[in-house]
Amino acid sequence: MKFELQPVSSLEKVFADEPLSAPLLEKASALRGEVFSFQLAYWCDLPFDLAVKINSPLNSAAEIRETALAPCELPAEEQSEEPDLLRTVPGLYPDPLLPISGKIKIPPDQWRTVWITLRVAADEATGRKNIICKANASAIYTDERLEAVVTVELDILPALLPEQKLIHTEWFHTDCISSFYKMKCWSEAHWALLDKYISNFVRHGINMLLTPLWTPPLDTLAGGERPTVQLLDIEKTGNTYKFDFSRLGRWIDLGLKNGVEYFEMAHPFTQWGAAFCPKIIVRENGRNKKLFGWHTASRSEEYVSFLRQLFPRLLAFLDTGGVRERCFYHVSDEPELRDWENYHAGAELIRELAAGAPVIDAVSNIEFYRKGSVLNPIPGIICIEPFVEAGVRPLWTYYCNGHREKVPNRLFNFPSYRNRVLGILMYKYDIYGFLQWGFNFWYSRYSVNQKLDPFKSTDAGRAFASGDAFMVYPGKNGPIDSIRNEVMFEALQDLRALRRLEELQGRDETLTFIHAGLDYELKMTAYPHSAAWLLGLRERINRRITELTG
């Protein structure tokens, strides 16, 4: 019986059918208040049971999870000649991080990992800590047992990682939770699950929550619909509407309890054109009916009247809850220039009704900004340069499956450094807010199939490259994390560390610092394609902060 154990960084994706080529992780550093992750890669020539224990001198216990494999039928929507991909073929990719109960059963001759998470307390004692990792392998069909022990040295530095300033939203799909768990929307069981998912959401640096005043008109087939997840109770008498905000208040309270800082109200017009209305359920003459939807033009008099009656009451309610200044609004997602007339009319109306609140949208054509249709555009990461040149401030960006050539993203077949490098690039571009559309989109494209199992279909029904549609998997009792979710949070921590360094030495010097050794300017499409560079840069940032803070 042969058994091997090796610590490797969080930026490695270890495939079961490849020899381990990842460099050995021997030591690293972390600031106070930081979450530090690494992996233990292991292999055995026989089927075996694995038990792992971590002896850590840190205040909090280590969290140990199994890095499981997920099917990837669609690594990319089209063939790419881009060299910086792990694989281009379908197969099993490391991604879900499963809780461990007892021992893990492992097939022979496969490299696998467990994911180790260490949460450094804000008051953690500084100095070098030896994280001792002990693994016991027990052969399943014989009495053979082997033990391996490895140590990772973690240097806790005295500086405190600052709070996150970036506004970060990953669209939270309330209906996907009710559908997968087969429970009525807004039932007490549904609220209990929402609590767990929002807690996970915030714990990973996502601080803005998509708020379904009505069922969000996102990724829906024209003429189709998603399950109703409307927070507002609305009653219509004649041409007058009465609004009950009780459920919205509970939603906001749940978000605030979990640390949500901002709320973005669901789009009032359909995606890709702003031509129609979202599904809105209204009670009239004692019966609920779908008053607005695909059958209603976005500029219809009845819908405009509805919005004009809603917004003053909505703003007053948000005022009483003390969250009005934390709210953002949308018009329509990803309009094209051919949709300009409808979009512009909707944008003027919403800006008027929102009374000075920010109105944001994923818009990648600079003409929408130049024509004054969107004052707070969110350009795609691959289309950001014209907005930078136009001096757009504050500057947001987003990515999705369509943004993949050369740029950072979180797809299954991308090396993890292409996920994490986004933090460095967001600092370089001075990004104010970041958006991604799928925290937990577990339906197929256009929401046609609402019964997909995300553990079996990671590509929205063979529509979007695996990794685009969701960051968490639905566990029996709540969310199960992914490698990508954890690495994205590391990107946000890198950004926070750079913000601290800027406080100490200024922005110009910090920009010079991160470009040291490079003969080109960092851009969304130009950065070192290297985990070693990224990890080395973070170590240099930590040491420089320590020098400047004494």
3-state SS track over 90-145: CEEEEEEEEECCCCEEECCCCCEEEEEEEECCCCCCCEEEEEEEEEEEEECCCCCE
The CA distance from 218 to 220, in Å, is 5
pLDDT value at position 83?
78
What is the per-residue pLDDT for 82? 77
Edge-to-edge, what's the strand order for the sheet holding 48-55?
A: 27-32, 145-160, 127-139, 48-55, 104-106
Any domain includes 19: no
Look at residue 78 in the predicted model and tell me its pLDDT. 72
Dist. CA 534–CA 518, nearest whole Å: 13
Range of the structural domain that residue 276 is part of: 167-484
User: Does 79 have pLDDT greater than 80?
Assistant: no
Q: Does 263 score more than 90 pLDDT?
A: yes
Please report the pLDDT score of residue 77 as a whole number.
77
Task: Tokens for 422, please give them.
Answer: 């986004």
pLDDT for 547 equals 97
Q: 173-182, 287-296, 400-409: which range is least confident on average?
A: 400-409
The pLDDT assigned to 16 comes to 97
Quickly tell me which residue has 């109105």 as its tokens: 359
Is residue 81's pLDDT more than 80?
no
pLDDT tens for 336-365 read 999 999 999 999 999 999 999 999 999 999
Q: What is the structure's pLDDT at 331?
A: 98
Please report whether residue 278 resides in a domain. Answer: yes
Closest CA to 361 of 141, 346, 142, 442: 346
Among 13-17, 23-27, 140-144, the minimum mean pLDDT is found in 140-144
* Stretch 489-509: mean pLDDT: 98
What span, in angstroms and rounded, lies between the C-alpha atoms of 344 and 536? Answer: 47
pLDDT over threshold 90, residue 240? yes
Lay out the sheet containing 280-284: strands in order across.
Answer: 240-244, 233-237, 280-284, 287-292
Give the SS3 label for residue 534: helix
* In a domain? residue 404: yes
The CATH number of residue 239's host domain is 3.20.20
Q: 129 CB contacts (<8 Å, ≥6 apart)?
A: 56, 57, 58, 153, 154, 155, 156
Angle at which helix 507-514 crosses helix 483-505, to 10 degrees, equals 130
- Per-residue pLDDT tens for 141-166? 999 999 999 999 999 999 999 999 99
Q: How confident is the model at residue 52 (pLDDT cuts 50, 70, 90)?
A: very high
Q: How confident is the model at residue 34 (pLDDT cuts 50, 70, 90)?
A: very high
**Per-residue model confidence (pLDDT) at position 392:** 98
CB 184 within 8 A of CB 228: no
In a domain, 70, yes or no: no
- The answer to whether residue 226 sits within a structural domain is yes
Angle at 201 between CA 383 and CA 195, to 5 degrees: 145
Tally the domains of the chain: 1
**pLDDT tens readout for residues 390-446:** 999 999 999 999 898 999 999 999 999 999 999 999 999 999 999 999 999 999 999
- Whether 279 is covered by a domain: the verdict is yes
Locate tokens 């995606």: which residue? Answer: 271
| pTM for this model (two decimals) | 0.97
Classify residue 433: in a domain, yes or no.
Answer: yes
The encoded tokens of residue 175 equal: 């209906």
Is position 185 within any domain? yes
Backbone conformation region of residue 289, classed left if phi is above 0, alpha if psi is from -120 to 50, else beta: beta
pLDDT score of 378 more than 80: yes
Concatenating the DSSP letter of every residue in 430-455 gives T--EEEES-SB--S-GGG------TT
Instruction: For residues 103-122, give the mean pLDDT.
Output: 97
Please list the alpha-helical segments (H only) found in 286-395.
301-320, 340-353, 366-370, 385-389
Is omega for the bond preceding 394 within 30 degrees of 0, making it cis?
A: yes
The Cα 314–Cα 272 span in angstroms is 26
Average pLDDT, the chain: 97
Nearest to 374 by CA among 423, 424, 333, 405: 333
Tens digit of pLDDT for each residue in 465-483? 999 999 999 999 999 999 9
